[in-house]
């Protein structure tokens, strides 16, 4: 029996990394403030600065690899695509390049950069939050704040379902492959193999739900008593609370300033 | 009066034309180990669902007759309270894991968290159960990445940690290899030693013959035989009704066909060896 492992449950959960050990609600608050601030600053330089900031924070939190492996897909898919569409079709006066219906102007490039910076900043903050916050910690804090354990289970279970569906899809694809069906190759071939799998995959997931709910009932999930917790998180310290207040006040000032600029 | 009493119980699933349980009458006592046998789709799982209160609370359907648990009508039982007194383990090891806990230790503790057990006590109970079921080596593993047999043992551990009085266990070994089956029966034997009431649906009649106090045979939603294990499992008429009997009973029948008669029908392997040894020497 590894008592070192067991003893970790006797203490509030800590990883030793300052960023990861922030309270999940603090992280959520910071994610929203930092992710939404570019919408009010309305400057792509600020937006891209936030993107760089999130990359640095991910490295400091020790999750750069997992953060960036997901983030670059967003950068490529949404960033480049949105920029190209905006740059090519947004209206503007100072024409740089024109070909058939495409008209790239100085204004359209600025507009493209602006929208891309907003999307990337918000998605960056969200992905970073997911990467540095274990969902069980987040739902634990939600329950501490009075959210029903049913809601917290639904959140956790939904995240797990994504993983389960991926694994089940892989199993079905492998069995298809064993039957001689081509599951590898170009995108079209992969799509041909994958699309017929979607139906059984979803039906299996639905069929499993009934047994899953019985299994949870067997664990006294709805027992009429107050639940306790094996893993607990440390309470947010004063420094953390001050940090949140400062960020929230700055964000409030930003919103007020932006509204004032619109009105005046 | 038994702990669980059924009198002329008939149950039909929603939208079904035929009842899944027909005119069932039986009485189950505390602290006994009941084996439930019968052909596939004969109503064994429905019988378990009824005993566990899932019928009529989860599966609404039409329930006719008198069904009581500890003297209380099953229709009036609070299923949430019942879950704290009756453990339920079923055959699919892959859907019994909550999927929301990162380690087996946390998975076993989940039921205790739901029961509001204090943290220190919770940790002690998980350690105790893990040692009892010899799964200490699994405690740090991710429950979602265990094999079928390991998951089934973790499911048992999770329910055993909750220390319920009654265990309804539906074909726990149907997806396991012989080694996994043996370890599950060892766990069930431990439960029996602890004085728990066990209702086990199982096709492996040889193992039931070893452990069960009483056997209930179900066919077509009806109880066709009920009583002491030896009495029921030595009843050759059950063979004609599609119910498997222990190998020792079959061997005895073959011996009878060849004119060799043992003083009694052996239902367990050890009994068979003893009687044969007496006969030979």
Reading chain A (264 residues) residue by residue, the pLDDT tens digits are: 788 889 999 988 888 899 999 999 999 999 999 999 999 998 999 999 999 999 999 999 999 999 999 998 888 888 888 888 888 888 877 878 778 777 888 888 988 899 999 999 999 999 999 999 998 899 999 988 889 888 888 888 888 788 888 888 888 888 888 888 777 778 788 888 788 888 888 888 887 788 888 888 899 988 889 999 999 898 888 999 999 999 999 999 999 999 998 887
Q: How far is A22 from chain B (nearest CA, A)?
A: 20
Q: How far is A232 from chain B (nearest CA, A)?
A: 10
Q: What distance in Å separates the CA atoms of residue A164 and residue A153, rounded to the nearest whole number?
A: 16
Q: For residue A225, which residues of chain B lie inside 8 Å, CB to CB?
A: 114-116
Closest partner CB to A156 (pick from B83, B100, B158) = B100
Q: Contact A219/B114, CB-based, under 8 Å?
A: yes
Q: Contact B139/A5, CB-based, under 8 Å?
A: yes
User: Is residue B73, in this structure, part of any structural domain at all?
Assistant: yes
pLDDT value at position A106?
85
Question: Residue B51 maps to which CATH number?
Answer: 3.40.50.300
Q: How far is A73 from chain B (nearest CA, A)?
A: 27
Q: What distance in Å separates the CA atoms of residue B155 and residue B167, rounded to the nearest whole number?
A: 12
Q: Contact A217/B58, CB-based, under 8 Å?
A: yes
A219 touches chain B (CB under 8 A): yes
Q: Contact A228/B131, CB-based, under 8 Å?
A: no
Q: Based on the fold, state whether residues B184 and B271 are members of the same structural domain.
A: no
Q: Based on the fold, state whether residues B262 and B182 are members of the same structural domain.
A: no
pLDDT value at position B198?
96
pLDDT value at position A235?
86
Q: How far is B271 from chain A (nearest CA, A)?
A: 37
User: Is residue B145, in this structure, part of any structural domain at all?
Assistant: no
Q: How far is A67 from chain B (nearest CA, A)?
A: 20
State the Rg of chain B over Cα: 20
Q: What distance in Å separates the CA atoms of residue A119 and residue A48, rounded to the nearest whole number?
A: 10
Q: What distance in Å separates the CA atoms of residue A166 and residue B74, rounded to the nearest whole number?
A: 40
Residue where one domain finishes, among candidates B233, B255, B270: B233
Q: Based on the fold, state whether residues B193 and B224 are members of the same structural domain.
A: yes
User: Is residue B114, in this structure, part of any structural domain at all?
Assistant: no
Q: Based on the fold, state whether residues B227 and B250 are members of the same structural domain.
A: no
Q: Based on the fold, state whether residues B84 and B200 are members of the same structural domain.
A: yes
pLDDT value at position B254?
93
Q: Based on the fold, state whether residues B161 and B71 are members of the same structural domain.
A: yes
A256 touches chain B (CB under 8 A): no
Q: Based on the fold, state whether residues B67 and B171 are members of the same structural domain.
A: yes
Q: Based on the fold, state whether residues B255 and B201 are members of the same structural domain.
A: no
Q: How far is A130 from chain B (nearest CA, A)?
A: 16
Q: How far is B121 from chain A (nearest CA, A)?
A: 10
Spell B63-82 as b/e; 16+ CB within 10 A means b.
beeebbbbeeebeebebbeb
> For residue B164, which of B82, B84, B80, B54 has the smallest C-alpha distance?
B84
A228 touches chain B (CB under 8 A): yes
Q: What distance in Å separates the CA atoms of residue A251 and residue A37, rounded to the nearest whole number?
A: 7
| pLDDT < 70 positions in chain B | 1
User: Is residue B141, in this structure, part of any structural domain at all?
Assistant: no
Closest partner CB to A220 (pick from B83, B100, B155) = B83
Q: Based on the fold, state whether residues B23 and B90 are members of the same structural domain.
A: yes
pLDDT value at position B86?
92
User: Is residue B119, in this structure, part of any structural domain at all?
Assistant: no
Global pTM reads: 0.82
Q: What distance in Å separates the CA atoms of residue B44 and residue B202, rounded to the nearest whole number?
A: 9
Q: What distance in Å separates the CA atoms of residue A133 and residue A259, rounded to the nearest whole number?
A: 33
Among chain B residues, CA nearest to A3? B127
Query: Is residue B159 a contact partner of residue B181, using CB atoms and an 8 Å limit?
Result: no
B131 touches chain A (CB under 8 A): yes
Q: Contact B97/A164, CB-based, under 8 Å?
A: no
Q: What distance in Å separates the CA atoms of residue A115 and residue A123, rounded to the nearest whole number?
A: 12
pLDDT value at position B155?
92
pLDDT value at position A256?
94
Q: In which domain, by residue range, is B260 found?
A: 246-281
Closest partner CB to A230 (pick from B119, B136, B159) = B119
How many separate domains does chain B show? 2
User: Is residue B161, in this structure, part of any structural domain at all?
Assistant: yes
Q: Contact A160/B100, CB-based, under 8 Å?
A: yes
Q: Based on the fold, state whether residues B167 and B93 are members of the same structural domain.
A: yes
The CA-CA-CA angle for residues A202, A126, A77, to 5°, reads 70
For B:41-60, CB contacts with A below 8 A are 54, 58
Q: Based on the fold, state whether residues B180 and B227 are members of the same structural domain.
A: yes
User: Is residue B172, in this structure, part of any structural domain at all?
Assistant: yes
User: Is residue B273, in this structure, part of any structural domain at all?
Assistant: yes
Query: Is residue B267 a contact partner of residue B209, using CB atoms and an 8 Å limit?
Result: yes
Q: Based on the fold, state whether residues B19 and B92 are members of the same structural domain.
A: yes
Helices (H), A179-227: 187-218
Q: Contact B92/A211, CB-based, under 8 Å?
A: yes
Q: Contact A5/B105, CB-based, under 8 Å?
A: yes
- Taking one residue from A and the other from B, the number of pairs with CB-CB distance under 8 angstroms is 125
């Amino acid at each position: 029996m590894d008592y070192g492992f067991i003893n970790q449950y006797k203490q509030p959960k800590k990883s030793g990394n300052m960023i990861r050990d922030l309270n999940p609600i603090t992280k959520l608050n910071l994610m929203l403030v930092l992710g939404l601030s570019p919408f009010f600053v309305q400057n792509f330089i600020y937006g891209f600065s936030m993107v760089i900031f999130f990359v640095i924070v991910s490295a400091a939190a020790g999750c750069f690899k997992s953060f960036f492996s997901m983030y670059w897909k967003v950068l490529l898919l949404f960033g480049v695509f949105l920029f190209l569409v905006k740059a090519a079709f947004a209206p503007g006066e100072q024409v740089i390049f024109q070909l058939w219906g495409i008209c790239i102007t100085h204004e359209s490039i600025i507009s493209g950069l602006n929208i891309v910076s907003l999307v990337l900043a918000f998605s960056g903050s969200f992905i970073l939050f997911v990467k540095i916050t274990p969902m069980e910690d987040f739902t634990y804090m939600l329950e501490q704040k009075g959210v029903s354990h049913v809601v917290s289970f639904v959140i956790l279970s939904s995240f797990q379902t994504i993983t389960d569906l991926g694994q089940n899809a892989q199993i079905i694809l492998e069995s298809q492959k064993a039957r001689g069906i081509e599951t590898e190759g170009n995108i079209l071939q992969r799509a041909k193999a994958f699309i017929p799998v979607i139906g059984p995959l979803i039906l299996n997931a639905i069929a499993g739900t009934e047994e899953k709910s019985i299994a949870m009932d067997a664990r006294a999930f709805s027992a009429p008593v107050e639940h306790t917790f094996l893993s607990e998180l440390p309470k947010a310290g004063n420094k953390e609370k001050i940090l949140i207040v400062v960020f929230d006040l700055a964000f409030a000032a930003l919103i007020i300033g932006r509204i004032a600029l619109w009105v005046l | 009066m038994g702990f669980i009493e059924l009198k002329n119980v008939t149950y039909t699933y929603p939208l079904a034309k035929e009842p899944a349980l027909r005119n069932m009458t039986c009485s189950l006592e505390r602290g006994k180990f009941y084996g439930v046998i019968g052909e596939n789709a004969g109503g064994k799982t429905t019988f378990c669902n009824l005993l566990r209160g899932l019928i009529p609370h989860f599966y609404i359907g039409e329930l006719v007759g008198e069904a009581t648990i500890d003297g209380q009508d099953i229709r009036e039982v609070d299923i949430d309270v019942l879950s704290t007194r009756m453990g339920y383990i079923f055959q699919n090891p892959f859907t019994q894991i909550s999927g929301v806990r990162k380690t087996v230790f946390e998975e076993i503790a989940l039921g205790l968290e739901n029961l509001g057990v204090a943290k220190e006590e919770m940790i002690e109970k998980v350690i105790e159960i893990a040692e009892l079921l010899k799964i200490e080596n699994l405690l740090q593993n991710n429950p979602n990445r265990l094999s079928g047999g390991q998951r089934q043992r973790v499911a048992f551990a999770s329910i055993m940690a909750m220390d319920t009085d009654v265990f309804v266990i539906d074909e726990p070994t149907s997806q396991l290899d012989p080694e996994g089956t043996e370890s599950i029966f060892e766990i069930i034997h431990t439960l029996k030693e602890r004085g728990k009431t066990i209702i086990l649906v199982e096709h492996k009649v040889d193992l039931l013959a070893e452990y069960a106090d009483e056997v209930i045979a179900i066919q077509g939603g009806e109880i066709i035989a009920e009583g002491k294990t030896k009495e029921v499992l030595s009843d050759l008429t059950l063979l004609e009704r599609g119910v498997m009997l222990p190998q020792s009973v079959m061997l005895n029948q073959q011996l009878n066909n060849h004119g060799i008669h043992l003083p009694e029908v052996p239902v367990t392997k050890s009994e068979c060896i003893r009687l044969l040894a007496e006969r030979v020497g």
